[in-house]
Amino acid sequence: MATTSIFEARCVVIGGGPAGMMLGFLLARAGVRVIVLEKHADFLRDFRGDTIHPSTFELMHELGLLDQFLQIPHQELSRMKYIFDGHVVCMADFSRLPTKCKFMGFMPQWHFLNFLAAQAKQFPAFELRMESRVVDLLRDGDRIAGVRAKTPLGDLEVRADLVVGCDGRNSIVRQLAKLEIKEVGVPIDVVWMHISKRDRDPEQLFGFFARGKGLGLIDRGDYFQAAFVIPKGGIEKIKERGLSALHDDIVALASFLKDRIAELDDWSKIKLLTVQINRLQKWCREGLLCIGDAAHAMSPAAGVGINLAIQDAVAAANVLAVKLKAGTISIADLAAVQKRREWPTRLIQAMQASVHRYTIARIMIVNALRWLPGLQFLTARFIGIGPRPEHVRSPTA
Ligand SMILES: Cc1cc2nc3c(=O)[nH]c(=O)nc-3n(C[C@H](O)[C@H](O)[C@H](O)COP(=O)(O)OP(=O)(O)OC[C@H]3O[C@@H](n4cnc5c(N)ncnc54)[C@H](O)[C@@H]3O)c2cc1C
């Protein structure tokens, strides 16, 4: 008969993405016994966001980890430039931000998560269990009292005072907890692909937009991670038109890719990512809290999702660490995390939704940035630091 291993912790975090790893690290640092369950065997997954914002570098500085963190190979971008209908527009100028790092970093997310995991493992209160896929919640009356997970070695139960769902936009935790979701419609999806990079390529431009079409390019050293925007649900139409039509659309936006676009010679090299913007009405119930994309799925616009997930984790640790350690956590504490983070989330989602939906909003933003360069500092603040920035206040044990 299969056996079930049983563990206990003050907190069990579901999902080892940016939100979960940061929260696990901060709680362990505060001496709270925490177990992070991640369904994959490693962090090595492609097509995840890569951006590290100035505010995340600032948090690393507050944690005394910045020098070490900057040793990880990454690219730095102090001005986020796009081409709109042939005009280069600087969307955000990070160079004058009041932060230690005045740039946005591009670092493969698996390096970032491995770094957080390595730091967290230095604390005895921390445990990371990979290949542990949560399938159910444990209940004690109305209170959520832990989770059940499947692993290659059998079933696992973790009983905890608090379950934190950091399992992303398809969160099973929020689904099992029956937390209600409010969808904010988005009219786009994105197809992702790798396109090789050449020495003579132009300086890094973040995106190319013309005639209602858009292409994002993230520099990953010897290749670009490219994102081509398509109408929502439009992948079958794109496939019907054929690969060469897709090549033409991409080259029409970034002509320097013409000499290598034929690399995309099979649909298996092109992945569809469905874009969602949504948020929970209530982020918590007795014994359970959701943060990051599990509480509010973000679109890739301006690459702010990782930053927001990290900010949620810092806020949650600030509010909860001491009480979790003392075993006095209450629903009011969990609601306080939502209260703190909901307003910045709503503001950023409203910005993302209007940029996706209204051509007029895009044109107004682009023209304002072209004619009033001072605004590039405000957009840098909004994107690079975000509304209501968090600072590490949770204690070190
Ligand atoms: C196409 C696309 C591109 C994007 N690009 C960017 C970008 O460049 N910059 C940016 O800032 N944001 C970007 N975003 C948004 C960003 O990816 C998310 O906002 C961010 O990753 C959220 O972090 P998270 O930790 O909340 O969730 P996730 O990063 O989704 O992490 C969730 C984790 O939970 C694990 N998990 C899921 N289910 C279970 C389970 N049942 N049991 C155990 N573990 C589980 C997953 O394996 C995963 O590791 C992009 C989003 C999309 C859709």
Dump pLDDT digits (tens) for 199-235.
888 876 778 888 778 898 888 878 888 999 999 999 9
18 three-class SS? helix
Quick one: which atom of ligand 1 is closest to the CA of 227?
1
Structural contact between residues 17 and 293, judged by C-beta atoms closer than 8 angstroms: yes
A 10 A CB-CB count for 182 gives 11
Q: Is the CB of 40 under 6 A from ligand 1?
A: yes
Protein residue with least CA distance to atom 38, ligand 1: 167
What is the rounded CA–CA span in Å between residue 87 and residue 360? 17
Q: Is the CB of 49 under 6 A from ligand 1?
A: yes
Q: Is the CB of 16 under 6 A from ligand 1?
A: yes
What pTM was computed for the model?
A: 0.93
* Residue 185 pLDDT exceeds 90: no
Predicted local distance difference test score (pLDDT) of residue 147: 98
Residues 6+ apart with CB under 8 A from 278: 169, 181, 182, 183, 184, 296, 297
| Helix spans in the chain (H) | 18-29, 54-62, 66-70, 109-120, 172-176, 235-241, 243-253, 305-326, 331-357, 359-371, 375-380
Q: Is the CB of 271 under 6 A from ligand 1?
A: no
Q: Is the CB of 172 under 6 A from ligand 1?
A: yes
Q: Which pLDDT band, with edges at 50, 70 and 90, does 2 fall under?
A: low
What is the rounded CA–CA span in Å between residue 16 and residue 338? 20
Quick one: which atom of ligand 1 is closest to the CA of 50?
8
From the CA of 381, how far away is ligand 1's center (Å)? 23
Protein residue with least CA distance to atom 5, ligand 1: 49
From the CA of 169, how far away is ligand 1's center (Å)? 7
Q: pLDDT (tens digit, 9 = 90+) per residue, 229-256?
A: 999 999 999 999 999 999 999 999 999 9
Residue scoring higher pLDDT (245 or 366)? 245
Instruction: For 240, list phi and psi in degrees, rounded to 5.
Output: -60, -35
Beta strands 51-52 and 126-129: pairing type?
A: unpaired
| Structural element, H or E, at residue 157 | strand 154-165
